[in-house]
Amino acid sequence: MSFSLRQAFLLFIFLMTVIMRGGAQKIIRGPYLQLGTPTSIVIRWRTDAAGNSKVTFGLTADQRNRSVVDEAVTTEHEVKLFDLQPNTFYYYSLGTTGEVQGSGNDYYFKTAGPAGSKQKVRIWVMGDMGSGSPNQVSVRDSYMTGIKNNNRATDLVLLLGDNAYGTGTDEEYQNNFFNVYQNHFLRNNVLWAIPGNHEYYSGAQTKREVPFFKIFSFPQKGEAGGVASGSKMYYSFDYANVHFVGLDSYGIEDEKYRLYDTLGPQVQWLTKDLAANKQPWTIVMFHHPPYTKNSHDSDAESELIQMRKNLTPILERFKVDLVLSGHSHLYERSRPMRGHTGSADTFDADIHLLSTSSGRYDGSPNSCAYIKNPSTEGVIYTVVGSSGQNNGFNGVPHPAMPFKNATVGGSAYIDVEDNRLDFNWLGADQIVHDQFTIFKNVNKTTDVKARLGETVTLTPSWKGSCRWPDGSRTSTKEFTIVSDTVLFVRDSPGCLQDRFNIEVFPRPQITTQNLASVCSGASLSVPFSVTNTEAAKWTYTAQLSDAQGSFTSPVSLGSGSGTPLTANIPSNLPAGEGYKIRVIANAKGFEYTASAGFSIRQKATATLKGDATIDVGKTAALTLMFTGAAPWTYRLSDNTGGTTSANPLTLTVNPLKTTVYSLTEITNACGAGSPAGSVRVAVIPRIETALPASVVVCNGTDVNVPFTQVGEFETAVNYVTQLSSKEGDFLAPTFIGSGSQSPLKATVPLSVPIGSGYRIRIVVENNATVNSTPSGVFTIRQRASATISGDTAIRLEERAPLTLRFEGTSPRTYVLSDNSTNTTGDSPYVVTVTPTIPTVYTLKSVSNVCGVGSVNGSALVKVLITGTLQEEESKIRIFPNPAQTKVKVEVNALQSRALSWVLMNIDGQVVKEGNGRKNQRSNFEIDVVELPSGTYVLRIALEEQTFVRKLVKL
């Protein structure tokens, strides 16, 4: 391998330097990182002796397996690493090809996130920091302690100018910048710097020859993103989804243009870069603030006035989000604002502010985050000018910059993640004195379409706290779609709200297949299909419409988790032709296709009715009432039956006895149904009574009564013979006999009056219902009876009348005790006898058509041989004598005389007695109708006189 003369010379110088210094180089500045991109980075360092440059690197500290060598011999080493992976940690060591001068576990860097990524980015911002003061160290330590405590790495560092006081010389940079930060973060974090006015104090304002432009590297060719500037004065770069723009607000370009000159190259490039920017966040940094009231006054300094008038409209037009400046040695911050280009006294919050909130977003009053949507032009301006210098004063703040702190120094750190930016101003006292948050494109309405049952992840449009309707506070929500719904999510402070319009799409379909006719009460299988959703996620219910196919009030038939479903048709459904079945899910959002109409046939039911009472030989009509689908087949308890479509159905029965009919069986196309009902047909038997023409009926006699029975009784009965009244009616019949079969023996009571018109009937005892046909009319003849009377006294050879009294049908034949006989139809009947001695006459017998009857009585006929009777016919008159009913007695005497009388039978027994009053005529009657026939003696006492007369009672 051959070397050029120049290479040989440089190697010689290197070797001589090593020999003179004892063989070792020393790093006196750095390393520090520049131009970090997703795939490359520049590592710079300074050594006390010249040499070549070598960087070895890898993914772990003990596997640094790649290296880059620059053979140029120099003390200002600058090595660019290529072909790196985005967003990746690398460990490195550096030195020369001959030795490692810097190495360790703290030698690492992280490549930038790819442009457009939404990862979280930490940015540390310092302005006017290079004072070499205790405040500078305190500000540094405050931030470093914070990230250590919070375990938070810094991704990039922004330097806002006046990075080394007082004139920006290389020595001042070494003392007031590198020596302060070297061992804290420079070897790990990429620095992006812009110049302030103090950087130019070490050289010409019109030239880029001051140390600042030698110390730092700049992406002049657009290699870090953005439009290539071709200048060290200004540049842009992308880190994740943030576009950064660095501007030079003090240097003069082309001998005349400052940043506020809109026709200058810097502004021309700026407009192109901002127009080409596609990142959602834009942060612009330049040293001189357009709004400030402190160590500098934007109303009093021309360059600040021109920045406000000429530059801010451009920033607003291109919707820059945040401007970072220094220069004034304090902290100041505005709200989102636009259109204010005049002096402080022209500021009008109603006109120039897009929000009056503090933006702190910490739950304090009026602290909601700022919301910036694509059409919003408001810019937040900050002054971070006390990271080293801290000689500000607490004067009246600029009205556009109400948030300020001139008491303590500090720095800012910015966290950007996706559409959220959090800005914090951290004091040297480790206290965050001010903060604000910006959200972009929040308060969204998002349309979500997914299949029913699908789980979707709902993500709010912001990063941060969330409150979901169910109370959960997760950053995302796993939501299973069960119906069309609208869901809202809010942040914890109540400043943000997203709306999710959740639509089931495509609509899940449940199609129920067609069914054949079914019977009520039946169990059937209902097949169905489910599309546009995962069928296994749901449970299903079969529903039945009404008979017109309407599901207004559906009937649930059964549920299950798969197809087919088992459905049970209610047994009480009315029959119909228009029923439909549909299967529904236990979630909203489904579309349903019901089956075609089908018939429901009702199981048969039948009820037997028609209790009746009929005469034997007649028919009874029974009624069968049916429900369910015709035709019906029935069977009765008498084993009769049939098939019919008539409803109701009338059946005719002709039982011979009382019968209970029940419905034992009813069927139709749906199988066995429900029979019900029973009827009782009470049959009234008929009993016909007929006496033979030859029968003579007499009272007091027995008669055989034959009868015939048509029909049967339910149980054994006892028959009763009844005798009608003489008029032939049975209103008060006379019981005359009973028995269990024909003929019945009947006894006609003696007390029954004789005569014609009588009838006999046979009935059943215990009031059993029966139709009884009585016999024809007949006559009851009375058995003969005779009584003889007529006790008397006669003289010898006189005739004595005896009285025969008869009952019973005439003629009657009698025989006296003296065997005399006769037949007569008269009663009473007088028979004369002429006994010669006292004789007692009796009846031996009496008979008539009814046969021998009964006799009674006797008559004593005394024969008087001698004796007298006192007769005073003039005083006593008795008539008639003999007598049947009454006897009149006339007494011819003074009315004042007392009178009494006694009537005695021939045996001397008193049968009647009485008296008459004095003031009445002595005439009276004696009622003898109840006295037996015979001879009686009437004795009348008239004061001291007594009269006796014989009285014959017929």
> pLDDT of 302-357, one tens digit each?
999 999 999 999 999 999 999 999 999 999 999 999 999 999 999 999 999 999 99
Average confidence score pLDDT of the chain:
91
Per-residue pLDDT, 767: 64
Q: Rounded mean pLDDT of 514-521? A: 87
Check pLDDT > 70 for residue 5: no
pLDDT over 50 at 945, yes or no? yes
Question: Does residue 266 carry a pLDDT above 80?
Answer: yes
On whether residue 138 sits in a domain, the answer given is yes
* Cα–Cα distance for residue pair 774/801, rounded to 1 Å: 48
Residue 945 resides in a domain: yes
Q: Considering the domain boundaries, does residue 769 fall inside one?
A: yes
What are the tens digits of pLDDT across the range 11-56?
455 445 444 444 578 999 999 999 999 999 999 999 999 999 999 9
In a domain, 870, yes or no: no
Provide, rounded to the nearest whole percent, the portion of the chain with pLDDT above 70.
94
Query: Which tens digit of pLDDT belongs to each residue from 713-760?
Result: 888 889 999 899 999 999 999 999 999 899 999 999 988 888 889 999
pLDDT of residue 872: 52
Q: Where are the alpha helices (DSSP H) in 219-283?
A: 265-276
Question: Are 270 and 308 contained in the same domain?
Answer: yes
CB 903 within 8 A of CB 938: yes
Containing domain of residue 838, as a range?
785-864
Task: For residue 516, tell me if it sits in a domain.
Answer: yes
pLDDT average, residue stretch 214-237: 97
* Integer Cα distance of 413 and 382 in angstroms: 12
Residue 734 lies in a domain: yes
546: domain CATH number is 2.60.40.1930
**Are residues 639 and 549 both part of a single domain?**
no
Whole-angstrom distance, CA of residue 929 vs CA of residue 909: 17
CA distance 388 to 131: 5
Amino acid 566: pLDDT? 93
Judge if 326 and 196 occupy the same domain: yes
Residues 6+ apart with CB under 8 A from 382: 322, 323, 324, 325, 331, 332, 333, 334, 412, 423, 425
**Domain closes at, from 737, 756, 782:** 782
DSSP 3-state percent helix, strand, coil across the chain (nearest 5): 10, 45, 45
- One domain, residues 263 and 365: yes
User: 674, exposed or middle or buried, with CB in 10 Å at 0-12, 13-18, 19+?
Assistant: middle
Region 573-599: what's the mean pLDDT? 90
Give the rounded percent of residues in the chain with a pLDDT score beyond 90.
69
Quick one: DSSP state of residue 291? S
Instruction: Tell how many helices (H) and how many strands (E) occur in the chain.
Output: 9, 75
Q: Looking at the structure, do residues 737 and 774 belong to the same domain, yes or no? A: yes
pLDDT tens for each residue of 469-491: 999 999 999 998 888 899 999 99
Give 865's pLDDT tier (boundaries 50, 70, 90): very low
Same domain, 540 and 418: no
Structure tokens at 566: 């088992």
Asked if the structure places residue 869 within a domain, the reply is no
Q: What is the pLDDT of residue 376?
A: 81
Same domain as 724, residue 636: no
Same domain, 194 and 283: yes
Q: Average of pLDDT values for 395-406?
A: 95
Q: Cα separation of 676 and 609, whole Å? A: 9
pLDDT band at residue 871 using 50, 70 and 90 as cut-offs: very low
What does the alpha-carbon distance between residue 247 and residue 613 come to, in Å, rounded to a whole number? 123
Is 115 a member of any domain? no
Task: Give yes or no for a contact between 828 and 954, defined as CB atoms under 8 angstroms apart.
Answer: yes
- Residue 611 and residue 574 share a domain: no
For 588-598, what is the mean pLDDT?
90
CATH number at residue 410: 3.60.21.10
Do 344 and 434 lie in one domain? The reply is yes
Flag whether pLDDT at 452 surpasses 90.
no
Domain count along the chain: 8
Q: Does the pLDDT value for residue 868 go beyond 60? A: no
CATH number at residue 901: 2.60.40.10
Last residue of some domain: 683, 715, 737? 683
Q: How far is CA 909 from CA 165, 197, 912, 936, 953, in A?
A: 185, 184, 9, 10, 15
Whether 714 and 857 map to the same domain: the answer is no
Statement: residue 867 has pLDDT above 50: no
* CA–CA separation, 123 and 44 (whole Å): 21
Are 614 and 682 in contact by the 8 Å Cβ rule? The answer is: yes
Of 90, 110, 130, which closes a domain? 110
Q: Do 243 and 216 sit in the same domain of this protein?
A: yes
